[in-house]
Structure 1
Amino acid sequence: MAWSDFLWLAVGITLLTTGGGTVVRGATGLARRLGVSPLVIGLTVVAFGTSAPELAVNVIAAIQGQGAISFGNIIGSNMANIGLIVGLTAILRPIVIKDVVIRRELPMMLLATAGVLAMGFDNALSSGGAVRSFEDFYTRSDGILLLMFFLVFLYYTVGEFVRPRAIAGEGLAKGQPQAGTEDPLWRSLAVTTLGLALLIAGAELTVNAAVNLARALGVSEELIGLTLVAVGTSLPELVASVTATFRGHAELAIGNVVGSNIFNLLLVLGVTSIVNPVPVPPGGHTDLLVVTGLSLVLFGVSVSYRQEIVRTEACVLLAVYLGYLGWRSGIAFVG
């Protein structure tokens, strides 16, 4: 059985690699055809598509009552997005941050992270700081509130770019390329859909194989959620971001990561909490603090005078992420 899991893992990674390139091609075509910037496509279409594995895995885990996997998948995925994906991408090629990301998307990600942090500590704070295992939950009320904030995010992200064109009555025509220079709209939509399907299928195969291998090695489900499941469901973001960067669309890469983090916190955690309240597992409060810290560091390096994530800063992000996972894994194995 172990060998078949290795085979499925290889198949899943292959699908992820193929799907990442397909999504970037389709999303770029959509942006050009609809007159919408690649950044907005990254913050919506690509971010939603690459967050779909997290949503699918979490809903299944919630239905099965595997709350630790749900929590670890969301928080671990956001850690991986910042530490692993931004880190590796910026090491390969420094990322220039656009003003719109600094003014709106990054602050919105910080706000979403702070809200999830507060919800995860509400019982601990009300009990005078005595943090005990599984006392904190993301309730159905929390989930509804998170989904409401998600709708606000979509409204301001998409609406800002759609309203001016609608008022002017000419934006789409001016935004489109000359006839014959780009693929038809239906083809770009089909390519994007195919890429997202490959990403989702690849992520499912990768995660299932990784979970089976981890359980065969006797690793706890809590650690599976934070590491293998989280990294596995973040592979679409990694592939799409690295591919976009090599193709000269670094803004799509950072938009994908920031948008995906917002989607994970507001949409994925929101839906999961409504399906079944998500408990904060042992060590979960520390995970929340670490992902908040990584988000603050990402914001800090983005608003620097360079507005660029250089290789030195990328190495720090990657080292912090790998170091924390190593520390958490060490505790799990010792325990």
Structure 2
Amino acid sequence: MLRVVDPIIIHFLFIIGGLVALYFGAEWLVGGASSIAIKLGISPLVVGLTVVAFGTSAPELLVSLQANLNGQPDVALGNIIGSNICNIALILGVAAAMKPVVIHLQIIKREMPILIITSLVFVAMLWDKRIERWEGGILFAGIIIYVTASLIEARKEKGAGDYEEFSEEEVEEMKKSGASQMVKSVLLIIVGLVALKFGSQWLVEHGAEVAKWFGVSEAIIALFLFAFGTSLPELATSIVAIRKGQGDIITGNAIGSCIFNILTVIGITAMVHPIAEQNIASLDKMVMLGLTIAITLFMWSRMALNRIEGWLLLFGYLTYSVVRYCMDQGII
């Protein structure tokens, strides 16, 4: 019996280790790169919209790249589709169920239309079940335009001296730091990248073994296990933020992450190697699109997400999970 049980336990331990490595790898990468950028006098807006944004998307990027290069395109796609579903239905759902979330007008007027268009383009590209290199290039060009436009808009609205990601004491310490701190920051970046590399490798390889063990497809593992795992930091952040009444942080983080997932992660992954869909169901893409439109309508109605809407999102996520598993097992 032990010889049968032991392998699956080892695989799960590697999956947990991979998730931990992805989390800390992203933290170290962001911390080290931000410290160097601030020390060199790079605009804080550039730091926030590039270094920090890339760092929070790094786990998904490494997992999708690793999977696609390993010949597991459904993991690459499922990771992103599942992450976006998690960001909207689970993260915003939990936050709103705990306490009504007030939505900033900018989220509704700019970010949500961008996310809807981005999601529609992404689904349209998958019409032939492939995302070619040139299509990945179009998506990646989209993130460059988005970041550039955000920088221009942010400069109009606020001064370049506001480092939102760090306290004043941390910023001053980074600016005054000497050569030893620079070396430490470089080491943090290197260690962060190594952690991301091994974390993504463990997650993809051992996740595939778990899928085989339980008789489910790699798409299911990616849509739920990987997507939930890489969304855990955002979920924890949302719970803390809602207790502090910081709704903008929750919605901005969740919606911004969805945009970066499609444009950056899918864009780069497809440019490195075309993505060929295998077992991703039309339901997965339709649920992602449907939730994006539903959350926009919820936000638009009262400039907020109330508790009822939060519970509706959570119920929708639970229903989708059950239906998708039954589809994968041939029950329905």
Q: Is the 8 A contact 1:53 1:204 kept in 2?
A: no
Match of 1:234 in 2: 231
Question: 1:53 maps to which residue?
Answer: 59
The residue that corresponds to 2:277 in the other structure is 280
1:184 and 2:179 are equivalent in the alignment: no
Distance 1:328 1:242 in 2: 27
Mapping for residues 87-106 of structure 1, pairs under 5 Å: 87-106=93-112
1:334 alignment counterpart: 330
Q: Residues 207 and 232 of structure 1 are in contact (CA less than 8 Å); yes or no, is this contact kept in structure 2? A: no
Q: What is the RMSD computed on CA atoms of the aligned residues? A: 4.0
Among 10, 14, 24, the residue aligned to 1:4: 10
Counterpart of 2:262 in structure 1 is 265
Task: Determine the structure 2 residue equivalent to 1:144.
Answer: 137
Deviates more, 1:294-303 or 1:171-180: 171-180
Q: Deviations over 1:151-187 (max 9, x none)?
A: 111111122112566xxxxx34588999769763458
Structure-2 separation of matches of 1:25 and 1:105: 26
* Larger displacement relative to structure 2 (178-187 or 155-164): 178-187
> What CA deviation, in whole Å up to 9, does each residue of 1:69-118 have, x standing for no partner?
11111111111111111111222232211111111111111110111122
Query: Distance in 1 between the 2:243 and 2:29 partners?
Result: 14
1:155 aligns with 2:148: yes
> What displacement does 1:275 show?
1.7
> Is the 2:67–2:75 contact (alpha carbons within 8 Å) kept by the matching residues of 1?
yes
Would the alpha carbon gap of residues 269 and 92 (structure 1) be closer, same or farther in structure 2, given more than 3 Å must change?
A: same
Note the residue ranges of structure 2 that are not aligned, 5 or more in a row.
1-6
Cα distance, 1:25 vs structure 2: 10
CA contact (8 A) 1:20 1:240 kept: no
Percent identity of paired positions between Structure 1 and Structure 2: 32
1:291 aligns with 2:288: yes
SS at match of 2:315: helix
Call closer, same or farther: CA 1:7–1:178 in 2, change over 3 Å. Answer: closer
In the alignment, does 2:298 pair up with 1:301? Answer: yes
Distance (Å, rounded) in 2 between the aligned partners of 1:255 and 1:264: 14
Secondary structure of 1:303's aligned partner: helix
Aligned residue for 2:301, secondary structure, equals coil
Aligned residue number for residue 3 of structure 2: none
Corresponding letter in the other structure for 2:301: S
- How many angstroms does 1:44 deviate by? 5.5
Q: What does residue 63 of structure 1 align with?
A: 69
TM-score normalised by the chain length of structure 2 = 0.77
The 1:13/1:69 distance shift into structure 2, 3 A limit, reads closer
Q: Which runs of 5+ in 1 are unaligned?
A: 122-134, 166-170
Aligned residues: 312
Q: 1:210 to 1:120 in 2, by over 3 A?
A: closer
SS at match of 2:258: helix
C-alpha spacing 1:312/1:204, structure 2 compared with 1 (3 Å) = farther
Q: How far apart are the structure 1 equivalents of 2:276 and 2:120?
A: 17
Change (3 A) 1:52 1:104: same
